[in-house]
Amino acid sequence: MDAKRIRIQNGITYGMVIAFWVVIQIMDKTGNLSSLLKGLLVPLCMYAILAVSLNLTVGILGELSLGHAGFMCLGAFSGAFFTNCMEAAMPSAGLRFFLALILGAVVAGIFGLLIGIPVLRLKGDYLAIVTLAFGEIIKNLINVMYVGRDAAGFHFSNKDAMSLGMDDTGVVIVKGAQGITGTPRAATFTIGILLLLLTLFIVLNLINSRTGRAIMSIRDNRIAAESIGINITKYKLMAFSISAALAGMAGVLYAHSLSTLQATSNNFGYNKSILILVFVVLGGLGNMRGSIIAAVVLTALPEMLRGLNDYRMLIYAIVLIIMTIFNSSPKAIEMRSVLMDKLRHKKAAGKEAA
């Protein structure tokens, strides 16, 4: 692809996100926005960010990671912890949220780097298994973590809130399985969209840079890449930790969209990691725009199927299967291209006639 086409493609991606924001704003102003959709906006942004960031690891770097929810969990908890700790020092919830976003991304990024050093020596299935285990470890560690603060400073325990040994002024911030409650809900749709644009900006620019080409060369042929002097470890770690940092940022967004945050298998378990992977695979490996669309459609789908009551999860699964077949089965692709050709033919014929 030449530079011009890349610019057009990226422009379409940015344009799509901005158009989505504009349409929602218009719907909101004219009162056409349902409460359900309003409540879904921040999660939609969050899942889109997660899908794009995981696509960097899976689609661009070419490594299968199943620990994405673990990074998101790290970001969510460090961000929420910061916001709750700094309540007295910084009364502005917006400022705290902004700093929490940075902190969450940094913490997740550092962990991505630390995990990456040993883990990226593995390939394929082995990497997937280790990252899966990492995600579970994070979740379980947070479930036994108790952190409180009183006049004397921070107290930490991995047993229970009582063994923190705090004085009367003590407040327990992280309560093990009960997690963190009372985080101000500072996340708004506009912030979510801005973060999504930032994520796209980082990822798309990375892909189209010298670094990005080096990363993709590792994916395409590791030995060839090594032979021309590309530092494999460096580029792998870079892509992996950027991906982790962006997931951490999405986690902070999640933590600030709900007043309760718990490390349950529902929120941050491997099911969540796999869900994000589904967005990436359905949207197309390496295709950021596809990831966003898949994340939005698949997040909104179970909610719009609410009318079907108990059958909705069944229908959701069926739709997922159909979408996968439609997207990637060779026969379906063939059928689609035949249809496209016919359509194009008709259009051309119509033009000629006119």
In angstroms, what is the minimal distance from the CB of 175 to other proteins?
8
User: What is the amino acid identity at position 170?
Assistant: G
Q: Choose one: 18-26, 106-114, 186-194, 219-227; the region binding other proteins (CB under 8 A).
A: 18-26
In angstroms, what is the minimal distance from the CB of 33 to other proteins?
8
In angstroms, what is the minimal distance from the CB of 52 to other proteins?
15
Structure tokens at 126: 């082995």
In angstroms, what is the minimal distance from the CB of 36 to other proteins?
4
In angstroms, what is the minimal distance from the CB of 110 to other proteins?
26
The yes or no reply on residue 168 touching other proteins (CB under 8 A) is no
| Cβ nearer to other proteins, comparing 112 with 135 | 135
Which three-class secondary structure state does DSSP give residue 261?
strand
The yes or no reply on residue 181 touching other proteins (CB under 8 A) is yes
In angstroms, what is the minimal distance from the CB of 279 to other proteins?
12
DSSP 61: S
Q: Which residues pair with 175 in a beta bridge?
A: 146
x-marked contacts with other proteins along 309-328 as a string, rule CB under 8 A: xx-xx-------------x-
Compute CA distances 232 → 85, 118, 225, 318, whole Å: 40, 14, 8, 41
Structure tokens at 102: 């940075």
Residues 6 or more apart whose Cβ sits within 8 Å of residue 22: none
In angstroms, what is the minimal distance from the CB of 120 to other proteins?
27
| Cβ nearer to other proteins, comparing 278 with 297 | 297
Measure the CA–CA gap between 346 and 344, rounded to whole angstroms.
5
Measure the CA–CA gap between 71 and 145, rounded to whole angstroms.
17
Measure the CA–CA gap between 253 and 274, rounded to whole angstroms.
20
Question: Residue 297, exposed/middle/buried by CB under 10 A (0-12, 13-18, 19+)?
Answer: middle
Applying CB under 8 A, which of residues 93, 175, 232, 278 lies at the interface with other proteins?
Answer: 175
x-marked contacts with other proteins along 74-103 as a string, rule CB under 8 A: ------------------------------
State the residue for tokens 């969050």.
Answer: 46
Q: Do residues 196 and 292 touch, judged by C-beta distance below 8 A?
A: yes
| Cβ nearer to other proteins, comparing 176 with 192 | 176
DSSP for 137-204, written as a single string: HHHHHHHT-EEEEETTEEEEESS-SGGG---TT-EEEEEGGG-EE-------HHHHHHHHHHHHHHHH
The yes or no reply on residue 36 touching other proteins (CB under 8 A) is yes
Applying CB under 8 A, which of residues 7, 11, 38, 328 lies at the interface with other proteins?
Answer: 38
Measure the CA–CA gap between 104 and 108, rounded to whole angstroms.
6
Measure the CA–CA gap between 75 and 247, rounded to whole angstroms.
7
Applying CB under 8 A, which of residues 11, 154, 160, 190 lies at the interface with other proteins?
Answer: 160
Residues 231-290 that bind other proteins (CB under 8 A): 254, 257-260, 262, 264-267, 287, 289-290
The yes or no reply on residue 226 touching other proteins (CB under 8 A) is no
Q: Choose one: 57-65, 91-99, 137-145, 216-224; the region binding other proteins (CB under 8 A).
A: 137-145
The yes or no reply on residue 11 touching other proteins (CB under 8 A) is no
Q: Which residues bind other proteins (CB under 8 A)?
A: 12, 16, 19, 23, 26-27, 30, 32-40, 43, 140, 143-144, 160-162, 175-179, 181-182, 185, 254, 257-260, 262, 264-267, 287, 289-290, 293-294, 296-297, 300-301, 303-304, 306, 309-310, 312-313, 327, 336-337, 340
